[in-house]
Structure 1
């Protein structure tokens, strides 16, 4: 079975190795792809159909019915903002569809506050070989970012 994982934000597709955080850059959390977001306020979309199993203003995890879990992290060290600049649209435990708004944020504002707004999108508990990138240099929110063979 192959799961298509959609980009939660619009922007430039970059490898995880370019994320300025070793936990993501070295794929310690799991393999994935990062998106350098457009610098406009926007909704962050669910990458897959599933249930919101973890929810913070700066990060969330959506798990599919068969247990595939995708982490979306909005910026690096943005946990230090304690939710400032993020507006949640769902609650933990809520069922969501791919493309449904989960959070609204402004990457330009995050950057102005001194944080890197890059967005790692991680396939939790996946092997690197299980992922294949869509291959585009840039992506619109809701478009395929990578496929996950399970």
Structure 2
């Protein structure tokens, strides 16, 4: 079994994944982890783990670690509808990235002004056991980028 520390992708207040206002995340349909309610300012979203940038869309990205753990960062809920508005990417799909490296600049105020929830779920892809996620920062507590948000055991 491996232990993968997963860093906070953005600063903000931690939100329990079950409390995210989207059943895809709150019910663990794509995996388990935690979420962050970011400050209402322009922020850089960083790589929560090192590895290969497997998928990069303006509003979301997936990084695959060397141990085969996929970590999804989704910048806001339903933000795919913005078609890239409010997001500036700083990497290319297929890049090798390091934990803490800036991946996307996230314009939180513009997403909120569009009427969308800016919360940032960070999940282990296809994790079916919520008990395999050891949350390091509790719901309602503040977290900063580069701080361990949770550890995944696989």
- TM-score with structure 2 length normalisation? 0.94
Aligned: 1:149 with 2:150: no
Residue number in structure 1 paired with 2:112:
111
What are the ranges of 5 or more consecutive residues in structure 1 without an aligned counterpart?
none
Matched-pair contact (CA < 8 Å) for 2:7–2:48? yes
Secondary structure of residue in 1 paired with 2:24: helix
Q: Distance in 2 between matches of 1:16 and 1:74?
A: 14
Residue number in structure 1 paired with 2:7:
6
| Structure 1 residue 107: Cα displacement | 1.1
Q: CA RMSD in A?
A: 0.9
Matched-pair contact (CA < 8 Å) for 2:137–2:143? no
Map Cα deviations across residues 94-120 of structure 1 (whole Å, 9 max, x no partner). Answer: 000000000001212210111000000
Count of residue pairs brought into register by the alignment: 150
Map Cα deviations across residues 104-149 of structure 1 (whole Å, 9 max, x no partner). Answer: 0121221011100000001112221211000341100111000011
Residue number in structure 1 paired with 2:137:
135
Answer with 15-24 or 79-88: which moved more: 15-24
1:80-119 equivalences in 2 (<5 Å): 80-119=81-120
| Structure 1 residue 10: Cα displacement | 0.2
Secondary structure of residue in 1 paired with 2:31: coil
Secondary structure of residue in 2 paired with 1:31: strand
Displaced runs of 4 or more, over 4 A: none
Map Cα deviations across residues 13-67 of structure 1 (whole Å, 9 max, x no partner). Answer: 0111221111111111111101011111111000001000011000000000110
Secondary structure of residue in 2 paired with 1:79: helix
- TM-score with structure 1 length normalisation? 0.97
Matched-pair contact (CA < 8 Å) for 2:86–2:108? no
Aligned: 1:45 with 2:46: yes
